[in-house]
Amino acid sequence: MSCLGAKKTTIGQSSSLARLSAASEVLLLIFFFFLMAWAIPGAHNLSVDVRFYASLSVITALFTLTIFSHLSYEENFTDLGFGKENFWQAVEILALPVFLLALAMVIIGSNLGTVYIKRKILWQFLGIPFWGLIQQYLLQSIINRRLQIIFGKGWLSISLTAAIFALVHLPNPTLAIATLIAGFIWAYSFQKAQNLYPIALSHGLLSTLFATFTPKWLLPNMVVGYGYLVKVGWVSANY
């Protein structure tokens, strides 16, 4: 059923125990994020080395959970969105909404005169898809798929996937709203065509444009969790 028990469960044919197990996995992932984004950075009584090893331990536990979960569900690379299947179908689904979002950011930023093009923008554009792939793997291949076990495919599991994505981007309000919108599109795409690569590429494109064209008074940084409070001066790092 999952890394937490029993046998393989097919999405759409879930028992009560399967739904409970899937919900436990989603909550564990959110808890791991809370530790990484809030608890460990905010632990001022811990040394930098201790916080580093604590973060490393959480990451190890996170990916250990995901590996055992995939093995228990007997999920293959195609199930998780890493195969070549559905690639062009996902591109077709994402093309129009991603184009419209990108166009809106460029137009708004250009009209407001808030274009912040840095010399590292090319590296950001090339590098963010890799970070985006990791995020989308956790969001789609695990959270989205587990929510489908609980609620089935459709608008509810899609909406909850997007809501969780926005939740982990708090307390950065602008970023949380943006990830809610984009997260809904990505979750919808994954349920229709399970392929992570177009999602990760669009993640990289939209993130780069968002950071480049959004006014600084609206988006002072792209940081989340405790680090955002430090960046905006609401709390002290005290490292």
Tell me if 107 is assigned to some domain: yes
Q: What pLDDT, in 10s, does the model give residues 61-111?
A: 999 999 999 999 999 999 999 999 999 999 999 999 999 999 999 998 888
Q: Is the dihedral of CA 180, 185, 186, 192 positive or negative?
A: positive
Q: Is residue 236 part of a domain?
A: no
Closest Cα partner for 37 from 162, 223, 180?
223
Q: Supply the Cα-derived Rg of the chain in whole angstroms.
A: 19
Q: Is residue 76 included in any domain, yes or no?
A: yes
| Domain total in the chain | 1
**Secondary structure (H, E, C), 5-60:** ECCCCCCCCCCHHHHHHHHHHHHHHHHHHHHHHHHCCCCCCCCHHHHHHHHHHHHH
Is 7 among the domain residues?
no
Q: What is the pLDDT of residue 4?
A: 42
In angstroms, rounded to a whole number, what is the distance separating the alpha carbons of residues 233 and 217? 14
pLDDT at 113: 73
Give domain status of residue 5, yes or no: no
**Burial zone of 79 (CB within 10 Å; 0-12 exposed, 13-18 middle, 19+ buried):** middle
The 10s digit of each residue's pLDDT in 153-173 is: 999 999 999 999 999 999 999
Using one digit for the tens of pLDDT, what is the confidence trace for 198-230?
999 999 999 989 988 888 889 998 999 999 999
State which residues form the domain around 107. 16-231
In a domain, 21, yes or no: yes
Cβ proximity of 194 and 201 under 8 Å? no
Residue 4 falls inside a structural domain: no
In the predicted structure, residue 130 carries a pLDDT above the cut 90: no
Using the predicted structure, report yes or no on whether residue 37 has a pLDDT greater than 90.
yes
Answer for the pair 140, 190: CB distance below 8 angstroms, yes or no.
yes
Q: Is residue 10 part of a domain?
A: no
- Pick from 92, 115, 97, 113: which is nearest to 208 by CA? 115
Give the pLDDT confidence score for residue 11 in this predicted structure. 65
